[in-house]
Amino acid sequence: MKRLALALLCCVALDAMAQDHSHHMMPMPMPAPTTGEQPKTPIPALTDADRAAAKPPMADHPEHDNAIQSFVQFNRLEGFDGGLEWQGQAWIGTDTDKLWLRSEGERIDERTEAADLEVLYGKPIARWWDLVAGVRHDFKPGASQDWAAIGVTGTTPYKIELEATAYIGASGRTAARIEAEYEALLTNRLILQPLVELNLNGKDDPARHVGAGLSTAEAGLRLRYEVTRQFAPYIGVVYERAFGDTADLRHDASDTRVVAGFRIWF
C-alpha cells in the first residue's frame, strides 16, 4: 500500500518535472491542496545519482557522548594544631561506568594516625544516586585491614551531598560510614559548608579504639572563599565526639579543633 502511494507520488513528480519548481519558497500564490495524499509541491523522482549520494559513509560518526573523563578533588586538605587531615576523591570513566578512588586520613605530630583508601566501581542507578562497590584498605590505625565496600553517593532533596557506605571485613567485622555535606552560599564565592560524618561499627575492636554501635561523630563548619572554582582556601571548626564503648576506649571522648586548609580540584 505504501509502495503504491510512493509510486503515485513519483508519477506526480515526473509529471511536474517540466515545470520550474526551483523557487517554491518564493512568495507566490500556492495552488489549493488537491487530494489529501498529493503534495502541492511534487516530490522529486529519485535518480541513481540521488541513491548514490545517499549511501552511508564508511566511517562511523565520531562520538564524544561516552568519552572518558576524569576528576580529582581534595575536598579537605587542612591543618590544625599539631596535625593534618585530608579527604579526597577522584573518578575516571564514562557517564555509565566510573572508577572511584577515595581516601581520608589524619596525621598528628608527624605520625599517620589514620589513613584509608577505597577503590570502587561506580554506576548511576537513579536520577541523583550512584551505586559504588569495591574495597577499602585501612593503613592505620593499628594493623592494616581490608574491607569489602558497598554504598551510595548522591544528592538528597535540598541539595545535601550524601555518601553512605557499608563495609564487611575479616572475621565478621562490619562498619558503616555516612557523610553529609551542604553548601550555604553567603555569596557566590563565600560558602559556608556544614558537614556531618558518622562512623558505626558492628563489633568492638579495642586494638583500634573502636567500640560497637555508633563509634564517632564529627561535625564541621567550614567557611571557604572560592578564589577560583578550582582553588578555595577555608577556615573552620570541627567537633568530634566518640560514643559508647568507643568513648570508653579513648582518653578523650570529644575534641574541638580549629582548622585551616583549602579545597582544590582539577
Partner 1 sequence: MTLRTPNGGPAQPARRRFVQGLAAGGAVAGLGLWPRASYALQGAGLPSVLSGTQFDLSIGETPMNFTGRTRTAITVNGSLPAPLLRWREGTTVDLRVSNALPMHSVHGHETSIHWHGILLPANMDGVPGISFDGIHRGETYAYRFDVKQSGTYWYHSHSAYQEQVGLYGPLIIDPIEPAPFAFDRDYVVMLTDWTDLDPAALFARLKKMPGYDNYYKRTLGDFMRDARRDGLAETIEDRKLWGAMRMTPTDLADVNANTYTYLLNGTTSLGNWTGLFRSGEKVRLRFINGASMTYFDVRIPGLKMTVVAADGQYVHPVTVDEFRIATAETFDVIVEPSGQDAFTIFAQDMGRTGYVSGTLAVREGLRAPVPAVEARQILSMADMGHGAAAHDMAGMDMAGMDHAAMGHAAMGHAMPAAQHHPASESHNPFVDMQAASPTPKLDDPGIGLRDNGRTVLTYSMLRSVFDDPDGRDPGRDIELHLTGHMERFTWGFNGQKFSQAEPLRFNYGERLRIVLVNDTMMTHPIHLHGMWSDLEDADGNFHVRKHTIDMPPGSRRSYRVRADALGGWAYHCHLLFHMEAGMMREVRVDE
Question: Applying CB under 8 A, which residues contact partner 1?
Answer: 2, 5-6, 9-10, 22-28, 30, 33-34, 36-41, 43-44, 46, 49-66, 69, 71, 95, 124-130, 155, 157-159, 184-189, 229, 265
Q: Which is nearer to partner 1, 151 or 169 (CB)?
A: 151
Cβ proximity to partner 1: between 60 and 252 the closer is 60
- Tell me, what amino acid is at 175? A
Minimum Å gap between C-beta 117 and partner 1 is 21
Judged by beta carbon, residue 71 or residue 239, the one nearer partner 1 is 71
Q: Which helix (H) or strand (E) covers residue 146, if one does?
A: strand 145-156
The DSSP element (H or E) to which 135 belongs, if any, is strand 129-140
Coil vs helix vs strand at 16: helix
Cα–Cα nearest to 192, from 223, 213, 167: 223
* C-alpha cell at position 161: 551531598
Measured CA to CA, the distance from residue 163 to residue 136 in angstroms comes to 15
SS3 (DSSP) at 200: strand
Least distance in Å: CB of 181 to partner 1? 14
Beta bridge partners of 130: 124, 153
Strands 111-126 and 174-181: unpaired
Work out how close the CB of 231 gets to partner 1 at its nearest, in angstroms, rounded to a whole number: 13
DSSP, collapsed to helix, strand or coil, labels residue 244 as helix
CB of 40 to partner 1, least distance (A): 4
> Shortest approach of partner 1 to residue 191 CB, angstroms?
9
